[in-house]
Amino acid sequence: MTFLQQKRMSYYLLLAPGLLLFASIIIFPVAYSLSLSFTSFGGYGKPAFIGLENYVKILGDEVFLHSLRNNLLIVAVSVFGQIPLGFLLAFLLHRKMVRNGNFYQTMIFLPITISPVVVALLWNQIFSSSGMVVAIIRNLTDQPQYVMKIFENRQMAIYPILFVLLWMHTGTYMIIFFANLQKMTPSLLEAAQIDGASESQMLGRIILPGMVGTIATTAIFAISGSLKAFDLIYSMTGGGPAHFTEVIAIYMYINTFKYYKYGFGSAASMIIVLLAVGLILILQYISRKFERRFE
Amino acid sequence: MNMKRLFSIVFISLFLVPVLLFAAGTKEQAKDTGDGVTTLSVYHFLDQTDKTTAPNFQYLVDVFEKANPTIKLTFEYGYGEAFHDKLQTMAMSGQLPDIVLLYPGERTSQVTNAGLVQDLRPYLAGHENEFADMAMQGQGKNGEIWELPEDISITSIMFTNNRLLKQLGLTLPKTYEELLAQGPKIRAAGLIPISIANKDAWPMQSCVAGMLVERACGLEWFDKAIAGEARFDDAEFVYAMEIIKELTDKQMFSPGTNQLAYGQGLDDFVQEKAVYFIDGGWTVNNMIGELTAEQKEYMSLESFPDIPRQKGKSLSTSATAGQGFGMNAKLTKAESEAAWKWIWFYSGPEGSAIRQKFGRLPAYNLDEPKDADPMIQKLVAYAGKVPMGYVMDSVLAAEPIGTFNINLQNMMFGTKTPKQISQELEAMVTAIGR
């Protein structure tokens, strides 16, 4: 065996275990799920091929469309809420515009260290019909029958969850931005300051252009995380009442594990994958354009 | 050997460890350990944090193991949806435990319909008459008994706080109109007329709708509907739904009932914030510990009052045979016999007597408990006097009933009409097959 062959062989050998693991836990389940999505498999027996029927049914199902709408709202809150807010907080802390920065940094990051199930229980304790806020309002208004109607409105029921998601995940993005801001050369900002640049000018001309890559990466995190959102929402509302707060992951879960429609559920999971990939590709296209502009 | 090569070998070995472990799988635990002890795995539905049911169940296990030293049971527990998710995974991966808790209806059909468990009739032969008739109804297409029901589940009881009734100058309503008329007075006193928590969507169907369908349509109609000779959008079924809508619109249920987690209904009743509380007989199990001795005296178990144009029986309720243990079809003869010993102990005379003392209503016929808790005595007396109709989720498939549960919430919010949800149920039942 020549040296080149030996080298190539060692590459394959080193790559093989990782590739095998990746194939067994990522590629195989995705491929299996894709094949199941074209069947009416119900958990036992031989899967019957039904072509695109599952996809057609899903796309015509108003529950799915409402779930998709909820998911897109979560994406919007993540991309246009958590990321800008996280960046703003990181900027304020980095530029030392607030006192006791370390304290605020810890407090803002704290929610992400708590389990989503605990967060769900916490907010349920606050907002549910038997919770603290409702009890206070009932006492203050002397209306023992008072309930928060927002949770019983098809269009609005998701908004309290969006707020909790904003509260919970902003800290993650703040830390990412804060770490990247610390990496910036201080002399660059000092020079700008000497030249008489204001904070907003430094932000718009130096800091933001330097953070385009980080913003794009966090946006990818936000989109993929938003589309697979499940744990917090399932723990808070289970997708209810009446599907009002359902997202695609819960839609998939209910159909697969409660109704034993494995083929149908697989098709729903494929739609999540396609949506995530599509949105991320669009985002990469936009971020590349921005990068070129700033270059 | 140079350092690079050594490093490569170590690196590759480290990568291979998880792969080899993954490929090796897990070795099955030996069933017979050689000392004559048969070890069986059991998968059970139990909330291990529940201060009532968890120690009660452990007590049963201890009694069994003491009486059967040659059988060792190793338990694995699941609760809520997680129980069912894991059961499905076990079934699909061919790793079903030796003994597993199953349901008589469609809830665990992915295990029973797939032939993964044994028909218990050969073991049960000669004992059929010792159980309530409802418990001995066939569970499979050919009348198979996949699990031996432990309890009879009465799913609709109107628990009544007679102290509050008296305080408000009211009496137990005999008719639906009388019940509705009590609403304003109860609410004016800052109380809830009927406590029920429907966030999980099943309580309104299981504890209210099934009973009202029995009242509005009658048992005969339900048999016809299941056979396809009557429809779920018939006028009488729609009428049952209209009653739920009217109860909602007239604020008879807990405020924000569709936001209240299951358990809140009982809390409000125990704290005497509600005059009535609709739930299943299984709640008595918790009431024993939650209610004081004084409260147990004035709390009674009643039926929902008669409705106008009632076709079903007066004061009837809805009931079904409950869950129970079944055994894996792959067990050997000796293992099957050991598994049956546990199943028979649990749902047979011995375990049933213990569970009755804990507040359950066993499917096994027992004498009335003289020394039991007052709430248990009331439950047994109630079960003995009321006619029983079907529980919808025990006779309809998972998807139609799941959609129907959600549609009941939609109807309560006004986003769907009683007629619409009835039509959707009929369409779904027809599409899936009755």
The pLDDT of residue B14 is above 50: no
The pLDDT value recorded for residue A268 is: 95
Fold of B38-151+322-364: D-Maltodextrin-Binding Protein; domain 2 (3.40.190)
Enumerate the domain spans of chain B.
38-151+322-364, 156-319+389-432
Interface residue A17 vs chain B (CB under 8 A): yes
| Torsion, CA A78, CA A81, CA A87, CA A90, rounded to 10 | -100
The pLDDT value recorded for residue B19 is: 44
B245-271 mean pLDDT: 95
Alpha-carbon distance A79 to A70, whole Å? 14
What is the helix (H) or strand (E) element at residue B149, kind and residue range? strand B148-149
Alpha-carbon distance B107 to A257, whole Å? 11
Task: List, for residues B227-243, the tens digit of each pLDDT value.
Answer: 899 999 999 999 999 99
Q: How many domains does chain A have?
A: 1
B406-417 mean pLDDT: 96
Task: List, for residues B356-378, the tens digit of each pLDDT value.
Answer: 888 888 999 998 777 888 998 99
Residue A37 lies in a domain: no
Residue numbers of the domain that contains A210: 53-294
Residue A283 Cα to chain centre, angstroms: 14
Task: List, for residues A119-170, the tens digit of each pLDDT value.
Answer: 998 998 888 888 888 889 988 988 888 888 888 999 999 999 999 999 999 9
Of the candidate ranges A280-284, B21-25, B229-233, B330-334, the one whose mean pLDDT is the lowest: B21-25
Return left, alpha or beta for B365; rule: phi > 0 is left, psi -120 to 50 is alpha, else beta.
beta
Residue A79 lies in a domain: yes
B88, A261: Cβ pair inside 8 Å?
A: no
B261, A151: Cβ pair inside 8 Å?
A: no
B86-93 mean pLDDT: 86
B110, A43: Cβ pair inside 8 Å?
A: yes
Task: List, for residues B158-167, the tens digit of each pLDDT value.
Answer: 999 999 999 9
ipTM > 0.85? Answer: no
Most confident residue range from A122-126, B138-142, B271-275: B271-275
The pLDDT value recorded for residue B2 is: 59
- The alpha carbon of residue B109 is apart from the nearest alpha carbon of chain A, in Å, by 9
Alpha-carbon distance A16 to B49, whole Å? 45
Domains B38-151+322-364 and B156-319+389-432 alike in fold: yes
- Cβ proximity of A57 and A40 under 8 Å: no
A147, B256: Cβ pair inside 8 Å?
A: yes
A124, B261: Cβ pair inside 8 Å?
A: yes
* DSSP 8-state code for residue B37: P
| Residues of chain A numbered 225-244 and touching chain B (CB < 8 Å) | 237-238, 240-243
Q: At what angle do helices B3-24 and A3-22 cross, to 10 degrees?
A: 30
Give the chain B residue nearest A23 (alpha carbons): B19
* A243 contacts on B by Cβ (under 8 Å): 406
Q: What is the 3-state secondary structure (H, E, C) of chain A?
A: CCHHHHHHHHHHHHHHHHHHHHHHHHHHHHHHHHHHCCECCCCCCCCCECCCHHHHHHHCCHHHHHHHHHHHHHHHHHHHHHHHHHHHHHHHHHCCCCCCHHHHHHHHHHHHHCCHHHHHHHHHHHHCCCCHHHHHHHHHHCCCCCCCHHHHCCCCCCHHHHHHHHHHHHHHHHHHHHHHHHHCCHHHHHHHHHCCCCHHHHHHHHHHHHCHHHHHHHHHHHHHHHHCCCHHHHHHCCCCCCCCCCCHHHHHHHHHHHCCCHHHHHHHHHHHHHHHHHHHHHHHHHHHHHHHHHC
Q: Which residue, among A130, A161, A264, would best test binding to B if mutated, counting the most B CBs under 10 Å from its CB?
A: A130
The pLDDT value recorded for residue A106 is: 86
The pLDDT of residue A14 is above 50: yes
Q: What is the CATH number of the domain that holds A204?
A: 1.10.3720.10
Best CATH choice for the domain B156-319+389-432 from the list 3.40.50.720, 3.40.50.360, 3.40.190.10, 3.40.50.620? 3.40.190.10
The pLDDT value recorded for residue A112 is: 87
Residue A287 lies in a domain: yes
- The alpha carbon of residue B19 is apart from the nearest alpha carbon of chain A, in Å, by 7
Rounded to the nearest integer, the mean pLDDT of chain B is 89
Interface residue A144 vs chain B (CB under 8 A): yes
* B406 contacts on A by Cβ (under 8 Å): 240, 242-243
Residue A136 lies in a domain: yes
Q: How confident is residue B78, by pLDDT bands cut at 50, 70 and 90?
A: very high
Give the chain B residue nearest A261 (alpha carbons): B399
The pLDDT of residue B130 is above 70: yes
The pLDDT of residue B394 is above 80: yes
Long-range contacts of B367-376, Cβ-Cβ distance < 8 Å, separation of 24 or more? B373/B288, B373/B296, B374/B296, B374/B297, B375/B284, B375/B287, B375/B288, B375/B291, B375/B296, B375/B299, B376/B284, B376/B288
The pLDDT of residue A49 is above 50: yes
The pLDDT of residue B10 is above 60: no
B19-45 mean pLDDT: 66
Residue A23 lies in a domain: no
Residue A257 lies in a domain: yes
Size of interface A-B (CB pairs under 8 A): 110
* B415 contacts on A by Cβ (under 8 Å): 154, 242
Q: What proportion of chain B, given as a percentage, has pLDDT over 90?
A: 68
Task: List, for residues B165-223, the tens digit of each pLDDT value.
Answer: 999 999 999 999 999 999 999 999 999 999 999 999 999 999 999 999 999 999 999 99
Residue A215 lies in a domain: yes
Residue A204 lies in a domain: yes
